[in-house]
Structure 1
Amino acid sequence: MKTSIVIKKGLSSDMRFDLKDGAGSDAVHTSPVYAYAVCRLVTDSNLEGVGLAFTLGSGNKIVCQAIEYLVRHVEGKEIYELMSDFGTIYKKMADDPNFRWLGPHKGVVQLALAAVVNACYDLWAKAEGVPLWKLLTSLTPEQLVNTLDFSYYEDILPKYEALDLIKKQQAGISSRESIIETGYPGYDTSIGWFNYSDEKIITNVKMAMDRGFTAMKLKVGSKNAAHDIRRAELVRRIAGDQATIMFDANQQWNLPQAIDICTKLKDLNPYWIEEPTHPDDVYAHIALAKAVDVPLALGEHVPNKVIFKNFIQSGCMTFNQVDAVRVGGVSEFILISLLSRKFNIPVVPHVGDMGQIHQHLVLFNHITLGHPALLLEYIPHLREHFKSPAIVKDGKYLTPMEPGMSADLLKHEYSL
């Protein structure tokens, strides 16, 4: 019989980390301050659920204030009872009438929702004494779909169809579980931050390859397209023709610019071009995909399941970069992954969590849903702040074994 664990209180923590020497810089954020709006669920046991939402800078405080409001939906709830029909409470939180006008389902409110939802899943896994990936892969199809809110998906992925999709993947689970031993492939997203010099990029590419990475990403999107092309050519030349290289524009091009620059970058055989234009502009992405035959990756700034639904249906998305600390947490991540699986679009998450949570979610995606095990972004800059930092060896994420979702930060760093 499972021990009852009741959530007594939800707390928020505003945690910010200065990065140095150009790390984390892109075409928008030239001096980034990485930040987590943390939700901590205190219980009547010695267990505590920890959930993250990723932000940048002073806006983090506003997300923390929203967390302090939303936690009232889970305070007083017993964790097993809560998670047995979590899709229902998820919908109540997402549609809270005091907050819905501020969204709906986007911005500060959605980020706060992500932190609260993630804390619930973390507590659930800790209550079971297993890592999140193990919890998720051990759920029955019925248990899994009961954690999801299918609102606005009834026309494209109703609950019964999601259930059938999961059941059809069960036949291959045993063979896919080998990923637990071999490790999940990573890619180095830190070789070419926007403010890095050419010399530093050259050094970083060589270091990444020495550490076993065969895939890496360069930041582009400067006001001078020739500058981007030159740096992209540099990375391709140093990494070689066999390397997997991505280019990330961080939404900086309008459609005519995107068509022009993507046409030029295509000659360098990119694995994908990421966020080429505004993240809400579905039609611009469709037009770009028709104009230039180049793989497009997007989702870092797509805030919710409805816009993901539009992108997935549109045919312009080659790679789905849904981020569980941007959309409404693990629950919405799983729903979006299910729809992406239906359309055979691989999920390669953006890692606002620095890969801590997503190392669990990609294992679940592969083992339970049958997504291909392609790549998971690796950003090492905040490793020293996590209690159990993600471990990458020879270019692969080693499977985490500690209970929970690996989101716990060092206790002395929490600001209350």
Structure 2
Amino acid sequence: MNQTVTITKAYSSDSQFKLKDGAGSDAIHTTPIYAYAVCKLQTDRNIEGIGLSFTLGVGNNLVCQAIDYLVRHVEGKEINELMANFGKTYKAMSDDPNFRWLGPHKGVVHLALASVTNACYDLWAKSKGLPLWKLLIDLPPKDIVNTLDLSYLEDVLTREEALEILNKASETKKNREQILKTGYKGYDTSIGWFSYSDDKVKENIRKAMDAGFTAMKLKVGSADIKRDIRRAHLVREVAGDKATIMLDANQQWNLPKAIEICTQLKEINPYWIEEPTHPDDVEAHVKLANKLAPIKLALGEHVPNKIIFKNFLQSGCMSFNQVDAVRVGGISEFITISLMSKKFGVPVVPHVGDMGQIHQHLVLFNHISMDHEAIFLEHIPHLQQYFKNPVNIKGGYYQVPQEPGMSADLLKY
């Protein structure tokens, strides 16, 4: 299937979902509202592109207003022609002279860019009747690179180097397509939300293990250090020595406190400690990484763009890259950051503000077409009932999606 599809109208939609009983809570966001600033691309065919960026409710309307401005860059365009050199359009949107002062490349306007960009990739895949992962792994490396904006990265990733990474990986990608049969391993973030009681955490650990999960994450960052230490030991005790356990502080600590607490948390042998301090402070993370070695840091959930990712990768403190395609400027920037991360030898384990709907496609592409290690993908189930094609987890593994597009279509509610 390959048809011409022209974008006739584009607009935003503000979708918000209240969570219940402490779900989604962390040390900073105690009563979260999960929200999507949705971009919808209507066409001259019976298909629609859907893009998402993620917020926590308040301010979601501001992102939607920015979407309604940025869509002028794609309205009237035929999707295959647009995506043939999407990197040029992406740069025009990210550097739009009326919006750039508000960033550049961060905040409300960059979230809007993510939603518009993701809608374009979704429509592109639907126009060919393919799930996004299939579209991406079948594309020649040159066509992938044409969708990217590599500006300001020339000192670490040129167009030629990006092509070299993809071309080299393409020689062996058949060996990695086995993952399409097994599915992509998940880890459970929902066992230990910050507001959950100890008994609730214990119950959730047992449920997760019964469902096939062998890796799970606990939220830390309490005002009372003893609470974090106790709960971390609780998870290790219930899950057992063989379980993979991650700890997530959601930026709660300053550097001295992070050093003090993380030194004690090392006792449970965490696979990583996530976002221990302010997400913009590269130097603090370098100092902390050196203090905690061999315990590793996972960073990137709140890193807004490729330039700051470049700085973190250059610093050597980032052991796991948690780039999120609904946080940075969409799939185009996600792929750019994944290429850069591959060059620096840092695995990509995305944060899933999209609940894994889009990222289940992107990790398959990263593994098969870029030769990134397939570690696991975060799983958060709280919005599954709102998606037309929700992620399908069996035995702790994401099953490979088969529907055209990137699984971002929301049901009316």
- Give the deviation of 1:58 after TM superposition: 1.9
Aligned twin of 1:87: 87
Q: Does 1:78 align with 2:78?
A: yes
SS at the partner of 1:148? Answer: coil
The letter of the residue matching 2:69 is Y
The letter of the residue matching 1:301 is H
The letter of the residue matching 1:35 is A
The letter of the residue matching 2:258 is A
The letter of the residue matching 2:22 is G
For residues 103-157 of structure 1, the C-alpha deviation after alignment (integer angstroms, 9 at most, x for no partner) is: 0000000100000000000000000100000000000011010000010011110
Q: Give the Cα separation in 2 of the matches to 1:67 and 1:344.
A: 34
Q: Give the Cα separation in 2 of the matches to 1:21 and 1:2.
A: 46
SS at the partner of 1:8? Answer: strand
Q: Give the Cα separation in 2 of the matches to 1:93 and 1:271.
A: 38
Aligned twin of 1:13: 13
Q: Give the Cα separation in 1 of the matches to 2:4 and 2:215.
A: 45
Q: Give the Cα separation in 2 of the matches to 1:140 and 1:160.
A: 14
For residues 393-416 of structure 1, the C-alpha deviation after alignment (integer angstroms, 9 at most, x for no partner) is: 100000000000000001x23xxx
The letter of the residue matching 2:245 is I
Q: Does 1:408 align with 2:409?
A: yes
- Give the deviation of 1:371 after TM superposition: 0.4
Aligned twin of 2:323: 322
Structure 1 residues not aligned, in runs of 5+ = none
Aligned twin of 2:355: 354
Q: Give the Cα separation in 1 of the matches to 2:290 and 2:375.
A: 25
For residues 13-37 of structure 1, the C-alpha deviation after alignment (integer angstroms, 9 at most, x for no partner) is: 1000010000000011111110000
- Give the deviation of 1:2 after TM superposition: 3.9
Q: Give the Cα separation in 2 of the matches to 1:17 and 1:99.
A: 28
Aligned twin of 1:179: 179
1:143-292 alignment, distance < 5 Å: 143-292=143-292
Q: Give the Cα separation in 2 of the matches to 1:192 and 1:337.
A: 28
The letter of the residue matching 2:353 is G
Aligned twin of 1:392: 393
1:53-64 alignment, distance < 5 Å: 53-64=53-64
For residues 197-229 of structure 1, the C-alpha deviation after alignment (integer angstroms, 9 at most, x for no partner) is: 000000000000000000000000111111101
- Give the deviation of 1:57 after TM superposition: 1.4
Q: Give the Cα separation in 2 of the matches to 1:149 and 1:56.
A: 28
- Give the deviation of 1:11 after TM superposition: 1.2
Kept in 1: contact 2:2–2:129 (CA 8 A): no
Alignment TM-score, normalising by the size of structure 1: 0.98
Aligned twin of 1:97: 97
- Give the deviation of 1:173 after TM superposition: 0.5
For residues 250-288 of structure 1, the C-alpha deviation after alignment (integer angstroms, 9 at most, x for no partner) is: 000000011111111111110000000000000000010
Aligned twin of 2:379: 378
Q: Give the Cα separation in 2 of the matches to 1:4 and 1:95.
A: 28
For residues 311-351 of structure 1, the C-alpha deviation after alignment (integer angstroms, 9 at most, x for no partner) is: 01110000000000000000000000001001110000000
Q: Give the Cα separation in 2 of the matches to 1:292 and 1:4.
A: 54
Q: Give the Cα separation in 2 of the matches to 1:225 and 1:329.
A: 36
Aligned twin of 2:306: 305
Work out the percentage of aligned pairs sharing the same amino acid. 69
- Give the deviation of 1:230 after TM superposition: 0.4
Kept in 1: contact 2:246–2:271 (CA 8 A): yes
The letter of the residue matching 1:179 is I
Structure 2 residues not aligned, in runs of 5+ = none
Q: Give the Cα separation in 1 of the matches to 2:2 and 2:265.
A: 56
Aligned length: 412
SS at the partner of 1:325? Answer: coil
Q: Give the Cα separation in 2 of the matches to 1:177 and 1:241.
A: 31
For residues 60-84 of structure 1, the C-alpha deviation after alignment (integer angstroms, 9 at most, x for no partner) is: 0100000000000000100000000
- Give the deviation of 1:189 after TM superposition: 0.1
Q: Give the Cα separation in 2 of the matches to 1:372 and 1:3.
A: 34
Aligned twin of 2:39: 39
SS at the partner of 1:245? Answer: strand
Report the more deviating stretch, 205-214 or 3-12: 3-12
Aligned twin of 1:338: 339
Q: Give the Cα separation in 2 of the matches to 1:351 and 1:185.
A: 14
Let me know the Cα RMSD of the aligned residues.
0.7
> Runs ≥4 in structure 1, deviation > 6 angstroms?
none
Q: Give the Cα separation in 1 of the matches to 2:314 and 2:136.
A: 26
1:118-137 alignment, distance < 5 Å: 118-137=118-137
Q: Give the Cα separation in 1 of the matches to 2:268 and 2:148.
A: 41
- Give the deviation of 1:292 after TM superposition: 1.4
Q: Give the Cα separation in 2 of the matches to 1:365 and 1:213.
A: 22
Q: Give the Cα separation in 1 of the matches to 2:376 and 2:259.
A: 26
The letter of the residue matching 2:312 is F
The letter of the residue matching 2:7 is I
- Give the deviation of 1:3 after TM superposition: 2.3
